[in-house]
Amino acid sequence: MQKTTMATNEACQAARKWYEIDATGVTLGKLAVKVADLLRGKTKVNFTPNQDCGDYVIVRNAKKVNLTGNKETDKIYYNHSLWVGSLRQRTAGEMKEKFPEEMIFEAVKGMVPHNRLGRKLITKLFVYPGEGVSHEAQKPEKITV
C-alpha cells in the first residue's frame, strides 16, 4: 500500500538551497519558468502545493536577457498608482534598458500562485542587472538554462 506524504514547513526549511542563474542570452520566458519552478520547489521530491518548499534564486546579468520576435517594441508594461491620470506605459525595450530587474521580477511573479504563498515565494528571488552583489557566503550552485 502506497502512502502520500505531505512535507511539513520545518522539513522544507531544512532542505533549502541557493541557486545562481546567469541570464546572458537566455529567453525571458524560459528563464522565468525555471526560476518559478525553483522558487516553488517543484524540482524536489517532497513538493507539497500548499507549503513553501522552494529554494532561493539569484539572477545575474538581467540586462542581457533575450526577447524574441518584435517584443522589444510591441510588448508594453502597464503600471497604475490608482490616481487619476497616473497610467504609466513602457515598452519591453525601455524596461530592459532602464529596469531589467523589474521585467524579470514581473515575469516570475506571474508564474507563482497569486495568493499568500506566492507573495512569500517571491521574496526569495534576487535579481541584479549586472554582476551585482556578492552572495558567496550562501555558496550558491550555478545553473544553466
Whole-prediction pTM: 0.92
pLDDT digits (tens, 9 = 90+) for 97-144: 999 999 999 999 999 999 999 999 999 999 999 987 889 999 999 999
Please tell me the predicted confidence (pLDDT) of residue 128: 96
Task: With both helix axes pointing from N to C terminus, report the angle between 28-40 and 100-109 in degrees, rounded to the nearest 10.
Answer: 60
Is the pLDDT higher at 83 or at 14?
83
Q: What is the pLDDT of residues 33-47, one digit of tens each?
A: 999 999 999 999 888
The pLDDT > 90 percentage for the chain reads: 82
Quote the cell numbers at residue 64. Answer: 542581457
State the pLDDT at residue 24: 96
Res 139: pLDDT:
94
Q: Which pLDDT score is estimated for 14?
A: 86
Give the residue among 77, 41, 57 at the shortest CA–CA distance from 123.
57
Which pLDDT score, from 0 to 100, does residue 73 have? 95
To 10 degrees, the CA torsion angle through 122, 124, 130, 133? Answer: 150
Contact 14, 8 (CB under 8 A): no
Rounded CA-CA distance 135/138 in Å is 6
- Tell me what pLDDT residue 111 has: 97
Q: Are strands 141-143 and 18-22 parallel, antiparallel or unpaired?
A: parallel
Average model confidence (pLDDT) across the chain: 94
Alpha-carbon dihedral of residues 9, 11, 12, 15, nearest 10 degrees? Answer: 160
